[in-house]
Amino acid sequence: MTKFSDLNLSPSTLKAIKRMGFEEATPIQAGTIPVSLEGKDVIGQAQTGTGKTTAFGIPMIEKIDVKVGDVQGLIIAPTRELAIQVSEELYRIGSDKRVRVLAVYGGQDIQRQIRAMKKEPHIIVGTPGRLLDHINRRTLKLGNVQTLVLDEADEMLNMGFIEDIESILKTVPASRQTLLFSATMPGPIQKIAENFMTEPEVIRVKSKEVTVPHIEQFYTKVHEREKFETLARLIDVQSPELAIVFGRTKRRVDELSNALSIRGYLAEGIHGDLSQAKRMSVLRKFKEGKIDVLVATDVAARGLDISGVTHVYNFDIPQDPESYVHRIGRTGRAGKEGMAVTFVTPREMDYLKIVEQTTKKRMTPLKPPTLNEALEGQQRLAMEKLIESLKDGDVSDYMVVAKELAAEYDPVQVVAAAIRLMTKEPDTTPVQLSEERPLPNRKRSGGGGGGGNRRGPKKGQARGGSGGGDRGGDRGGQRGRSPRSGSGNPRGKSYNKSR
């Protein structure tokens, strides 16, 4: 294995990489970084989740002159979520060198982005539509770009962005270095390589077959507006000891953790906008059992040392299968079994199939619990606590009063009343979640466009694919279920499997 210390990197980059917990380079990193540092153009053929961001981020940051206030690096990404994720990772890699990174994408106030441009970022990460918008407004000047990266080029082809990308490429100096990353190499992507790259070196990395033993995997097909109710009822039925809920965006994490707290669940969220101290505080409370549900983005959850997680809920299905494997790997550790439930909207079923192909395992369909089943789950939890008390506790001090009750009332009624007192009643407090658009349709249409809005708005307007692209906006469920108590029955078998 190649170590980062063997790649002739600057002390500031090595320090940042070490702080991120990286020591050994992945195959795409080991193949790409040395070639890129020589200034050569590179075509990297690798799946998402193989470390591509670090593979192109390190050479780009090594070349940045922080004394110069011009944009020196440009990354074009297909979706808002990927642009944010890439910008966060580049920021961490370049933190010791004080490299300024800015993400621009549709759906965010463009005037805010224009103000951020005036702070002279060294690297811009953006989606095609919003980048073109800035270029047309002359708020983004690319005349001094040294390194250009096309990330997930085949996905941008699927979303109908090829013409936009070609327009952007024509505004960047011909003398630049170009790095193109794509899982597949269809004709239009090869054409871009021929027209806009100079004798690129091709580096191919075969995606590994991933396995996820000891984890029961379920999916539930649910509309966006019904997601929160389904999550709340699943938590009530399954009674996880410790659970992680994954959301696609920071806004989603904030809203979900707040909504769960309103309903009485002990929940907190972590994402990239929180300070390091706050993130560590939340994680400490989670590990100590002071909160039962951790809501997180993929980026925030990377590298976390968490044990004892019994359930993972993918509130939003991830865009790539490697992220899915990373998420559910939080449970079922040290040989213990875990459970993962993925929420899939009808338009996102193609992503579910891709995950199943990657993991070589079909997920079991799970019927969302009804309100009565959720209440029954809480009742069974109360009953189990009573049984635990009978087995482990000394109840002799309570026998006199118990006998009095048994003499006056039916013992079954007495037990029912005790269970009722211990059962958390349904909480119908209204909650509101913003609506997340579904991920872009992966099916190709006529060899070009993929999911809806193939050409999208005219130039100068913000655009987005069919959902997870340049724009996103969210409105989810309104009402959930009763707060949970205790930690019994982590396996929670009171659910229905639908076929």
Q: 189 and 129, same structural domain?
A: yes
Question: Which residues of the chain fall short of a pLDDT of 70?
Answer: 47-49, 206-213, 276, 299-307, 332-336, 374-375, 382, 422-428, 441-499
The answer to whether position 251 is within a domain reads yes
Residues 99 and 176 in one domain: yes
185 within 8 A of 45, measured Cβ to Cβ:
yes
Residues constituting the chain? 499
Tell me the residue type at 385: K
How many domains does the structure of the chain reveal?
2
Label residue 223 left, alpha or beta by phi (over 0 means left) and psi (-120 to 50 means alpha): beta
Tokens of 321: 């299968």
Task: Choose one of 156, 177, 204: the last residue of a domain.
Answer: 204
Hey, what's the torsion of the CAs at 148, 50, 438, 301, to 10 degrees?
-110
**How far apart (Å, rounded) are the C-alpha atoms in residues 69 and 122?**
7
Is residue 157 one of the residues assigned to a domain? yes
Residues 101 and 237 in one domain: no
Q: What is the DSSP string of 435-477?
A: PPPPPPP-S-STTT--SS-SS-SPTTS---SSSSSS----B--
The burial of 112, by beta-carbon neighbours within 10 Å (0-12 exposed, 13-18 middle, 19 or more buried), is given as exposed
Pairing of strands 311-314, 243-246: parallel
Give the single-character DSSP code of 79.
S
Q: Are 16 and 176 in contact (CB under 8 A)?
A: no
DSSP summary character for residue 142: -
Alpha-carbon distance of 155 to 165, in angstroms, equals 12
Give the phi and the psi of residue 275 in degrees, each rounded to 5.
Answer: -65, 160
**390 domain residue, yes or no:** no
Token pair for 58: 């390190």
At residue 335, the pLDDT reads: 52
Distance CA 446, CA 231 (A): 38
The verdict on 63 and 172 lying in the same domain is: yes
| Residue ending a domain, choose from 177, 204, 231 | 204
pLDDT at 319: 78
**375 contacts: CB under 8 Å, gap ≥ 6:** 236, 423, 426, 481, 482
Q: Of 204, 239, 255, which closes a domain?
A: 204
Backbone φ/ψ region at 191: left (φ over 0), alpha (ψ -120 to 50), beta: alpha
Nearest to 149 by CA among 237, 245, 303, 44: 44
CA 245/CA 253 separation, integer angstroms: 9
Q: Indicate which CATH number applies to the domain containing 86.
A: 3.40.50.300
Looking at the fold, whether 170 and 272 belong to one and the same domain comes out as no
Question: How far from 56 is each of 32, 205, 341, CA to CA, in Å?
Answer: 7, 15, 33
Place of tokens 């918008």: 133
Strands 123-126 and 73-76: parallel
- Please report whether residue 355 resides in a domain: yes
Residue 50 lies in a domain: yes
- Residue 93's pLDDT is 94
pLDDT digits (tens, 9 = 90+) for 256-275: 999 999 988 899 998 877 77
Residue the block writes with tokens 């407090």: 429
What separation, in Å, do the N-terminal and C-terminal C-alpha atoms of the chain show? 45
Strands 267-270 and 177-182: unpaired
The verdict on 137 and 17 lying in the same domain is yes
Q: Are residues 200 and 329 in the same domain?
A: no
User: 485 is in which domain, residue-wise?
Assistant: 215-372+480-497
Residues 113 and 42 in one domain: yes
Q: Are residues 200 and 283 in the same domain?
A: no
In a domain, 53, yes or no: yes
* Domain shared by 200 and 233, yes or no: no
Buried b (16+ CB within 10 A) or exposed e, 80-109: bbbbbbbbbbbbbbbbbbebbbbbbbbbbe
- Closest C-alpha among 171, 16, 158 to residue 79: 158
Residue 471 lies in a domain: no
| Residue 181 domain-assigned (yes or no) | yes
Closest Cα to residue 141, out of 170, 111, 172? Answer: 172
Question: Could you tell me if 54 and 200 lie in one domain?
Answer: yes
* Beta-strand relationship, 177-182 and 147-150: parallel
Q: Strand, coil or helix: what is 59?
A: helix
Q: Say whether pTM exceeds 0.75.
A: no
Report d(CA 323, CA 317) in Å as an integer.
Answer: 9
In 10 A of CB 390, how many CB atoms? 9
**Does residue 222 sit in the same domain as residue 282?**
yes
